[in-house]
Amino acid sequence: MGERWKGYCWPLSAAPGESIQFFTSTSAPTYVVTYVRFVNNDPAAVDDAAIAAGGEIIEVVVSDTFRVPGQWQLPMPGDASVIDDWNWAPSFSQVIPPEWSSGIYAARCVQFS
């Protein structure tokens, strides 16, 4: 049986020096986190097929990988009407470094094996 994952972050946007908290709920005992930035792919490499496959955007790794212990948190989406009702404990956080430029970032979470 595969691992179950749910997650969100708050706030959705932050300036350098500010912190974003990440809230996850998973059946995985441990997972690894890597922060990535989404950037436009080289326009010369993007054609209709690349766009159809999501290849117009690529991920650029901006951090070292670190481990986080998994935890199952309730209620899960569908059990509560809004995120505020979930009342989850933060799983990890990130202070935005001054060298990160404005853009769209994500925390990629993968089960540690």
Determine contact, residues 36/60, Cβ cutoff 8 Å: yes
pTM for this model (two decimals): 0.78
* Mean pLDDT for the stretch of residues 7-25: 92
Share of the chain above pLDDT 70, in %: 88
pLDDT at site 1: 41
Residue 73, classified by CB atoms within 10 Å of its CB into exposed (0-12), middle (13-18) or buried (19+), is middle
Q: Is domain 5-111 given the CATH code 3.40.50 in the classification?
A: no
pLDDT at site 23: 92
Q: Return the domain boundaries, the chain.
A: 5-111
